[in-house]
């Protein structure tokens, strides 16, 4: 008789505590282990309260499954809020990055197998601390309130995948609406759509792109439309898209992207998020603008 189990469709949650190795070094083994245990228990309790099942704990995270998408997303948002509230009372803040995917999996005692599990793990790897990233199939059937908090990050290259996959982020923080106003404010370009041009310059390299050439990838990979060869720059670091009347810059990186517009003192930090480009300014890749050695791309728009 075959021992093979029949695949079932589930929503997979892969949650990982950020910087666990550093916590063991800074706090010591005993204190760090207690913090990891209490944090994992907090996440597990959120999973169980929403009707999910903890498949296994991973020392600095856990793998869980849900029958549906909405309970899974609700549990992840609750866990992030609980950790944020605990950080206000504790001198040691712990950040959580979460990936969710949905698809056929094979469940066994204490484990779970399938491409959906791999995708959830890769989404968690790609997330920054405090982020919840969702695969395309996870956005179906969400509660209206949670669906309103979704933001598309476009198609992102995940480790181990040959083609980019659509990814969404859900804003779990109560202040999400205020925080997203500036980065997502579109700027109209005059002169007609066909004449809008994007100019990029890094060191002695210059290039100009039209709307018909979008999207334009920026990264360390030689195949990027605009290559920036610096170790701090991810292979697919950022992408510029055309949204019908304005350009947007989307961060896809591990180390982050910073944008400073000409004539403005404030710097916009992007972590798997996007902003509208307007006028001219600087795009710092993988290092903050305060670092004089930061790989910095000059940009300008003309119509």
247: Cβ–Cβ under 8 A, 6 or more apart, which residues? 189, 196, 198, 214, 240, 241, 276, 277, 301
Q: How confident is the model at residue 3 (pLDDT cuts 50, 70, 90)?
A: low
Secondary structure of 256-293 as H, E, C letters: CEEEEECCCCCCEEECCCEEEECCEEEEEECCCCCCCC
pLDDT given at position 248: 85
Q: pTM for the complete prediction?
A: 0.63
**What is the set of domains in the chain, with CATH numbers?**
8-176 (3.30.70.1230), 193-302 (2.60.200.20)
pLDDT given at position 81: 93
67-93 pLDDT per residue, tens: 999 999 999 999 999 998 888 887 777
Helices (H) and strands (E) in the chain, counts: 6, 19
Would you say residue 183 has pLDDT above 50?
no
119-128 pLDDT per residue, tens: 999 999 888 7
Map tokens 């040959």 to a residue.
162
Compute the average pLDDT of residues 175-183.
Answer: 40
């Amino acid at each position: 008789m075959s021992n093979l189990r029949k695949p079932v469709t589930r929503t997979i949650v892969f949650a990982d505590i950020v910087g666990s190795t550093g916590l063991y070094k800074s706090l010591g083994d005993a204190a760090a282990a207690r913090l990891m245990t209490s944090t994992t228990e907090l996440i597990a309790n959120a999973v169980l309260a929403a009707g999910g099942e903890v498949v296994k704990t991973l020392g600095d995270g856990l793998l869980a499954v849900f029958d549906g998408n909405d309970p899974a997303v609700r549990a992840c948002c609750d866990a992030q809020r609980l950790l944020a509230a605990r950080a206000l009372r504790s001198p040691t803040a712990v950040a959580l990055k979460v990936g969710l995917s949905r698809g056929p999996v094979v469940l066994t005692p204490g484990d779970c197998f399938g491409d959906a599990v791999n995708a959830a793990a890769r989404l968690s790897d790609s997330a920054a601390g405090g982020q919840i990233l969702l695969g395309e199939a996870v956005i179906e059937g969400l509660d209206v309130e949670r669906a309103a908090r979704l933001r598309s990050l476009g198609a992102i290259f995940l480790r181990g995948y040959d083609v980019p996959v659509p990814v969404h982020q859900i804003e779990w923080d109560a202040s999400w609406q205020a925080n997203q106003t500036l980065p997502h404010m579109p700027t109209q370009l005059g002169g007609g759509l066909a004449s809008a041009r994007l100019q990029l310059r890094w060191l002695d390299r210059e290039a100009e792109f039209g709307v018909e050439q979008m999207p334009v990838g920026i990264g360390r990979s030689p195949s990027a439309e605009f290559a920036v060869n610096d170790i701090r720059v991810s292979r697919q670091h950022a992408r510029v898209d055309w949204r019908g009347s304005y350009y947007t810059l989307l961060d896809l990186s591990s180390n982050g992207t910073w944008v400073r517009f000409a004539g403005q003192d404030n710097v916009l930090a992007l972590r798997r998020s996007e902003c509208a480009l307007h006028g001219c300014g600087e795009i710092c890749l993988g290092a903050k603008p305060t670092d004089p050695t930061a790989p910095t791309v000059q940009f300008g728009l003309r119509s």
